[in-house]
Structure 1
Amino acid sequence: MIPSTPEILARLVAEPTVSRTSNLALLDYVEALLAPAGARIERFAHPDGSRANLWATIGPEGPGGVVLSGHTDVVPVEGQDWSGDPFTLVERDGRFYGRGAADMKGFVAAALRAALLAASRPLKVPLHLALSYDEEIGCIGVRGLIEALAARPERPALCIVGEPTGMRIAIGHKGKLALKACCHGQEGHSALAPNALNALHLGAAFITALQARQEELAFKGARDADYDIPYSTIHAGMMRGGTALNIVPNRCEIDFEIRNIAEDDPLKILEGITADAETIAAPYRNRFPTACIEIERVSGYPGLATASDAPAVRLLSRILDHDDPTLKVAFGTEGGLFHETLGISTAVCGPGFMDQGHKPDEFVSAGQLSRCDAMLARLIDVLEAGDP
């Protein structure tokens, strides 16, 4: 008997697959579900072997097919005031509560159930499942899987990324660059502070420069009215430096990011920020030769800009139970990587809402899961007919 989506979701939530920790037990459960149904399964592991991507195919071999893409990792629960165990799924008043219920194990559960249903049908076009790790820290894990697929002569035709959109079709999101600025000063005794170079002061000047660049983007940059914030953004999230009050710090680190709309080139924005860093540090080098602000790229992913009449959008429009207009979402997804690296038409559509994710008592409603199940059932009909 095929388990229900909530039953599968309960098993997925029970695995505390926080980013950078193992997801192998969850993948073992997935394989135990899919392998007896005849799915062809591959894993693409992280170099240390602690976690992996999983690729599963139901139906005929060959090119084409539709990918259902989801990530298995979740954000941490530390410091959050949950009303119960975050890793035990609880149903209450038509909602399913648990870490990852919305982002995005609800969709993964529905996709697994759909794969089991598809296994009993004579599909003419294959159904693929792509389950990744470490999405929450910059879409890092899925790259190994996508690179392996890119090296193959046969590729899928379409991709549906099941991030929570309230079951509406999302055709765009911003790209992201995660960066680290390291400010190098010269340490000294705080009683003689003017004889040293305070790295925190360099960092403060750098953050001021970031603010100025943000103002420029907000008032003079390109705009896309489909986004809540209709322009590219620059954000400083963390600043670290100093060891004691009476020591002038010689090092300061700032973690910052660029989130760009399609009309802006993030590398061009970064060029301006790098020039600002040099402008800040250069005047000090006569007295402090090692003064500098070094910028390191930590991670990043491309944005998604799918045409409203693209194949993935047309397919979703056929199998959804509504004709709501498309939208663009504020959060990033792996969709840009599937589109950019594999060249396949990609859109985002999944159950729940992102404003429920990443917070205590995260939930997805039973109604949203039911609508996702219905959408995927219609997808199976399309794959059986051979007309995606």
Structure 2
Amino acid sequence: MTGRTYSAEEMLAQLIGFDTTSRDGNLPLIAFVEDYLDGWGVPHFRVDYEANKKTNLFATIGPAIAGGVVLSGHTDVVPVDGQPWTSDPFTLVQRGERLFGRGTCDMKGFLAVCLAEVPNFLRAGLKRPIHLALSCDEEVGCKGVRPLVAHIRDRLPRPGAVIVGEPTSMKVVNAHKSAVTFATEVTGHEAHSSLTHHGVNAILVAGELLSEISRIREDLIARGDPTQRFDPPYSTVHVGVIEGGTAKNIIPRRCAFQWETRLLPTADPDEVPRRFEAFAKRLEPAMQAVAPETGIATEAVNLVPGLAPEKDSPAELLALRLANANATHAVSYCTEAGLFQQIGIPAVICGPGSIEQAHKPDEFIETSELRKCEAFMARLVQQMV
């Protein structure tokens, strides 16, 4: 069976043409990829994350046996709202050796190369499978891929390695930080602002909690990263959103804020929330002495596991060979790689483009990065025949 062929640039133009901003879903892009794979007789299936809106696609080239390699990438992109683009972000535009469009480097460039290489994968007569995993909702906390990861764990022959094609300039990354998002809500007691002793000011209590987060942050910085591989070289804690109060002359009943930790792979994941919760508990008696219904509640709303280096990792050894590299790197941003590692599949990150271009207006990828990724895939085929 012979389907339609695309160059990497032509395939990238197709993928960029789909507005797959996380809030809007990815079904039209997935349908396009399915039609393309059907033309080549490549079996595939969906694993939904949000029915009729967001889904994952998994395809297999070669025998359906254990020990293959998964090439994994997310299809969703971040919003372009309010960004000063100089061209349509959902139309691929070439200027010199740069290809502009939302998602060109993060990370449709990788997916474009993988898909354009399908005919070459088929012609090679693979003895071990190459799988394609296209996920959704990575940009909002690596949420969408989780049903697919569970499906691979529970129902498929176990792959031997996963290569997540996030933009690393084709360097091999074997470690990244975790990310945990917390939501804290302070419930105070309303009163007239002239009678502060009759109320519990939720905003002032939140201020004390934020001061504790700042102290934790300073302690993490002082402790540092023994490996000195990460930038910044320490675990981080950050507050991103805060809201509270209704009027300047009302003691506020409610204040809520969202915060996160990004921890080194070797860090104790419970240390920061345990310390924060202990501090919160020390504040509550004084609050409840004024009004018993007051209190502080914190919930961990999302966890993205870190990626930890593994001794003699088959994924790392393979990726180093394919990238013609002899050193690995670490990054501070999160990926889906840690989720695959959690189910026992060795994983690394290696893909075209620079993370410095991601999420910006006029996002671009260099054509030379696509060529490097194509050479990587050609060497992968030689390992699988």
Name the SS for the 2:359 alignment partner. Answer: coil
**Which of 324, 327, 336 in structure 2 is aligned with 1:325?**
327
Q: Are residues 1:347 and 2:348 paired?
A: yes
Q: Are residues 1:357 and 2:363 paired?
A: no
Question: Structure 1 pair 128/177, CA: closer, same or farther in 2 (3 Å)?
Answer: same
Q: Which residue of 2 aligns with 1:8?
A: 11
Q: Which residue of 2 aligns with 1:17?
A: 20
Contact 2:176 2:331 in 1 (8 A): yes
Q: Which residue of 2 aligns with 1:334?
A: 336
* 1:108-147 aligned within 5 A: 108-147=111-150
Tell me by how many angstroms 1:216 deviates: 1.2
**Cα deviation per residue 1:189-238 (whole Å; 9 max; x = unaligned)?**
22333421111111111111001111111113653300011221111111
**Cα deviation per residue 1:318-339 (whole Å; 9 max; x = unaligned)?**
222x425211011100000001
Contact 1:115 1:127 in 2 (8 A): no
* 1:202-241 aligned within 5 A: 202-220=205-223, 223-241=226-244
* 1:87-126 aligned within 5 A: 87-126=90-129
Given the two structures, how large is their TM-score scaled by the length of structure 1? 0.95
Q: In terms of mean alpha carbon deviation, does 160-169 or 29-38 score higher?
A: 29-38
What is the alpha-carbon distance in structure 2 between the residues aligned to residue 311 and residue 249 of structure 1? 56
Task: Return 5+ residue gaps in structure 1 as ranges.
Answer: none
What is the alpha-carbon distance in structure 1 between the residues aligned to residue 317 and residue 371 of structure 2? 21
What is the alpha-carbon distance in structure 1 between the residues aligned to residue 227 and residue 254 of structure 2? 38
Contact 1:222 1:263 in 2 (8 A): no
Question: Structure 1 pair 48/31, CA: closer, same or farther in 2 (3 Å)?
Answer: closer
Name the SS for the 2:189 alignment partner. Answer: coil
What is the alpha-carbon distance in structure 2 between the residues aligned to residue 147 and residue 315 of structure 1? 24
**Cα deviation per residue 1:321-366 (whole Å; 9 max; x = unaligned)?**
x42521101110000000112x111110000111100111111100
Q: Which residue of 1 aligns with 2:250?
A: 247
Name the SS for the 1:305 alignment partner. Answer: coil
Q: How many residues align?
A: 382
Contact 1:160 1:346 in 2 (8 A): yes
**Which of 285, 306, 316 in structure 2 is aligned with 1:313?**
316
Contact 1:64 1:126 in 2 (8 A): yes
Tell me by how many angstroms 1:153 deviates: 5.7
Q: Which residue of 1 aligns with 2:46?
A: 43
**Cα deviation per residue 1:48-85 (whole Å; 9 max; x = unaligned)?**
33110110001112212000000011111111111111
Tell me by how many angstroms 1:314 deviates: 1.3
What is the alpha-carbon distance in structure 1 between the residues aligned to residue 219 and residue 192 of structure 2? 38
Task: Return 5+ residue gaps in structure 2 as ranges.
Answer: none
What is the alpha-carbon distance in structure 2 between the residues aligned to residue 22 and residue 47 of structure 1? 9
**Which of 79, 84, 93 in structure 1 is aligned with 2:82?**
79
Contact 2:149 2:340 in 1 (8 A): yes
Q: Which residue of 2 aligns with 1:264?
A: 267
What is the alpha-carbon distance in structure 2 between the residues aligned to residue 65 and residue 236 of structure 1? 41
Percent of residue pairs identical: 41
Letter in 2 for 1:351: P
Q: In terms of mean alpha carbon deviation, does 245-254 or 356-365 score higher?
A: 245-254
Name the SS for the 2:241 alignment partner. Answer: strand
Q: Are residues 1:168 and 2:141 paired?
A: no
Question: Structure 1 pair 153/325, CA: closer, same or farther in 2 (3 Å)?
Answer: closer
What is the alpha-carbon distance in structure 2 between the residues aligned to residue 197 and residue 298 of structure 1? 26
Contact 1:110 1:373 in 2 (8 A): yes
Compute the RMSD of aligned alpha carbons. 1.4
What is the alpha-carbon distance in structure 1 between the residues aligned to residue 93 and residue 219 of structure 2? 47
Q: In terms of mean alpha carbon deviation, does 300-309 or 206-215 score higher?
A: 300-309
Tell me by how many angstroms 1:116 deviates: 3.1
Name the SS for the 2:182 alignment partner. Answer: strand
Name the SS for the 1:351 alignment partner. Answer: coil
Q: Which residue of 1 aligns with 2:284?
A: 281
Q: Are residues 1:192 and 2:203 paired?
A: no
What is the alpha-carbon distance in structure 2 between the residues aligned to residue 350 and residue 257 of structure 1? 26
Contact 1:158 1:345 in 2 (8 A): yes
Name the SS for the 2:123 alignment partner. Answer: coil
What is the alpha-carbon distance in structure 2 between the residues aligned to residue 230 and residue 36 of structure 1? 48
Q: Which residue of 1 aligns with 2:376?
A: 375
